[in-house]
A and B are shown apart, each in its own frame.
Chain A
Amino acid sequence: MADKKFIIDRRTALKTGLAGAAALATPSFFIRDAWADDFCNIPKGKDVVFGFNVPQSGAYADEGMDELKAYQLAVKHLNGEGDGGMLKTMKPLALKGNGVLGKKVTFVSGDTQTKADQARATAKRMIEKDGAIMITGGSSSAEAVAVQSLCQDVGVIFMAGLTHSNDTTGKDKRAYGFRHFFNAYMSGVALGPVLAEAYGKDRAAYHLTADYTWGWTQEESMKDATEKQGWKTVKAVRTPLGAADFSQYITPVLNSGADVLVLNHYGKDMINSLTQAVQFGLRDKMANGKKFEIVVPLFSELMAQGAGDAIKGIYGTANWDWKLEDAATSAFTKSFGAAYGTPPSQAAQTCYVQAILYADAVERAGTFNPSKVIAALEGFEFDGLGNGKTLYRAADHQCFKDVLVVQGKEKPKDKFDLLEVKKVVPASQVTYDPSIFGGELGSKDAKACG
């Protein structure tokens, strides 16, 4: 017998090579999605955890507590419990009322104490210990900016709650951060012409400003907007966040030559500074031959309740009001009122909407992978969540919708009927070029918990 030699010709080598390559490629074909889904806190069981990070103490505790109520309501509605709230009105809607991607939504919460460092610490705890797939909340822009930056680092989506600083979606914007609430720039653009119409163009304004990111951008936006209307700015004074007694900052206003006081304060600070300004007789005062006026660029029903009679006649702006007459607002107010016995605040509405929008984006993306959820949220246009047609702009992750100019009611019917919507400024008038505030979104890639 002739010896059989193991000879591989060129054709055999090619065949073997191709077969081997196909065999090697096959596993990667099957596991391709598994690689792509390597992201922080992949939900493995039947549940998915949302992290609600709100101030339950400190200057913005009122808003925080209302936000938490709204989140709990959103969780109920996402899981198909209760009356469904704004899930009945949202368009387009991918959610099915069976949780998110079939997983039941559960939640953990943290008290940020209205402090940025504490907000960051509680968010970190929720991501690392509780396995939160997303973080949402914050009633202060300092908190929002700090938590948003953390979320970018660890690769977890942050749906901002009540934050009004231009910086949140401006110079400090992040790919993993999204804001539904409006901002200080929009307040200024909406409020400026209304103030000029109500109080005239020859006015001198004195600003008292909360000394942190929101206050600074609010002051800047109000100065720009009122100076465009012909007003002068006499002085802008920074006050510490959480100062209980503002009397030493209010007394210099009396003889400053100003005839308008702009209070760039929010929450408890605004309640205290406005009440004390009224106690010092500013609203009964005449200056430069005109009646002295007070303006609070951003305020809510909750703050109006705290300020009592002092809020009557005061102009400001709001993101939303429970007395709007659209079907979505009615559905949400009914749902919230039945659960908690009070109408929802604007903080509650924006937080409820953010939780729903995140869940809906996951459902549309078909995955919890944040890079795909980000893509689903960017440029998303929706309606039926209380603010009319709204766009989540891809360039800065800021929502664009109508802005409300409100005024404290002179004769409220009850303790919830404190604000009157004076004007609805269309989204087109408050839309701006995203480049004016600078900042970079950064990487959208998914990562394994930073």
Chain B
Amino acid sequence: MDAIVLQILNGLDKGGAYALIALGLTLAFGTLGVVNFAHGALFMLGAFCAVVFNKLLTLEIVKIDPTRTTPWGSPLEIKTPYVQAMLGDWGKVLIDYSVPVSILLAIPVMLLIGILIERGLIRFFYKRPHADQILVTFGLAIVLQEIVKHFFGANPIAQSAPALFSGSLQITEAIVYPYWRIVYLCFSLVVIGAVFAFLQLTTFGMVVRAGMQDRETVGLLGINIERRFTIVFGLAAIVAGLAGVMYTPIVPPDYHMGMDFLVLSFVVVVVGGMGSLPGAVLAGFLLGILQSFASMNEIKGLLPGIDQIIIYLVAVVVLLVRPRGLLGRKGVMES
């Protein structure tokens, strides 16, 4: 029983990341009709917002200690972060909380990146076949990856959770779960809730939803739906970016992390139903939990290697039974 509870928790936090990325993908697809293979790269760029913020906070004053030397003979450098030198203990706290605080940097940066990508590249591919969109966005993802690799190297750059959340929560005697993973799960639920509230409760969201249903009619009413869709693309970039920022203490980010999630997230979108936001969230959590259960030794003992293919197996079954996915709308990606 304890093992099952642990795998449910595991699946939920993994599913949180899948759901956030798939949500952004679906937003872009539902509004602009673009199959965005660069979405994983946006997740990675978000993670690197946290890395950059941490690097800025830990810029150091270097003093040379002539009395001590390094093992290779040069004088030893003593380094103190500027923030710590200026703000004392508050500086230390700021550095400790650099991951959650970097959300403040990630929101404008990701919005800007999203708008730049949409206006600068993707809008020229709206009327082109999906295969062209996939090729150009995949190319963009590789370019973004290589830029990050050039500046930050290929190695993962570890980011720490704040000391307060670095331990683990003892739920029962046998169930222990890291605090930061619980924080991540809660954070993903809050972001998903905020996106839905934005789309359901604001006039902007209402227009966007109407545009997703019938773009031409909304345009005929004199509403500049393109501008709103551009902002929605920026919003999708923010959601992916925030998912990346908060994921950094779980897995140290590197330039390739987006690709690891991209294929999985597409499967999540397809299983949830192309263009369906609730479908993406539901499928994200569902597949996260199934993947965790498939990794249990009892299940792997019966079906070796099942943990590697479960997501694709479920996708095949769902598409056979419900070709539009779990909550897919009629007419989306159907000729």
Contacts and interface: CB of A to CB of B under 8 A. Distances in A.
The reply to whether chain A is a binding partner of chain B is yes
B155 A240 contact: no
Interface in B243-257: 250-252, 254-257
- Which has the most chain A C-beta neighbours within 10 Å: B2, B7, B14, B251? B251
B160 A308 contact: yes
A334 B255 CA distance: 31
A279 interface: yes
A245 B168 contact: no
Interface stretch (B70-78, B194-202, B265-273): B70-78
Contacts of B250: 245, 276
Interface in A54-106: 56-58, 61-62, 64-65
Contacts of A242: 260
A271 interface: yes
B167 interface: yes
A43 interface: no
A61 B260 CA distance: 16
A333 B71 contact: yes
Pick from B14, B70, B72, B74 the residue with the most CB of A within 10 Å. Answer: B72
A275 B166 CA distance: 11
Nearest to A234: B297
Nearest to B160: A308
Interface stretch (B33-41, B112-120, B174-182, B232-240): B174-182
B139 to A, nearest CB: 17
Interface residues of B, number: 47
A140 B149 CA distance: 21
Contacts, number: 117
Interface stretch (A250-258, A353-361, A399-407): A250-258
Interface in B171-189: 174-178, 180-181
Interface stretch (B219-227, B277-285, B288-296): B288-296
Contact of A252 (B14, B71, B251, B295): B295
B250 to A, nearest CB: 7
Contacts of A62: 154-155
Nearest to A337: B72
Contacts of B174: 254-255
Nearest to B180: A279
Given A245-B14, A247-B10, A279 B178 contact: yes
A335 B291 CA distance: 48
Contact of B257 (A244, A323, A338): A244
A251 B71 contact: no
Interface residues of A, number: 44
Interface string B8-51: 00110110000000000000000000000000000000000000
Nearest to A206: B297
B176 A244 contact: no
A334 B41 CA distance: 39
Contacts of B3: 251-252, 255
A199 interface: no
Nearest to B291: A248
Interface string A28-64: 0000000000000000000000000000111001101
A248 B7 contact: yes
Given A247-B13, A275-B158, A280-B168, 12 more contacts: A57-B154, A64-B154, A245-B250, A256-B297, A280-B177, A281-B178, A322-B71, A323-B71, A335-B72, A336-B72, A337-B70, A337-B71
Closest 8 CB pairs of A and B: A337-B72, A61-B154, A248-B295, A281-B168, A279-B178, A251-B6, A281-B176, A244-B251
29 contacts: A56-B154, A58-B154, A61-B155, A61-B254, A235-B297, A245-B14, A245-B251, A248-B292, A248-B295, A251-B6, A251-B292, A252-B6, A252-B295, A252-B297, A254-B2, A255-B174, A268-B155, A276-B178, A281-B168, A306-B155, A306-B156, A307-B158, A334-B71, A334-B73, A336-B72, A337-B70, A337-B73, A338-B74, A343-B71
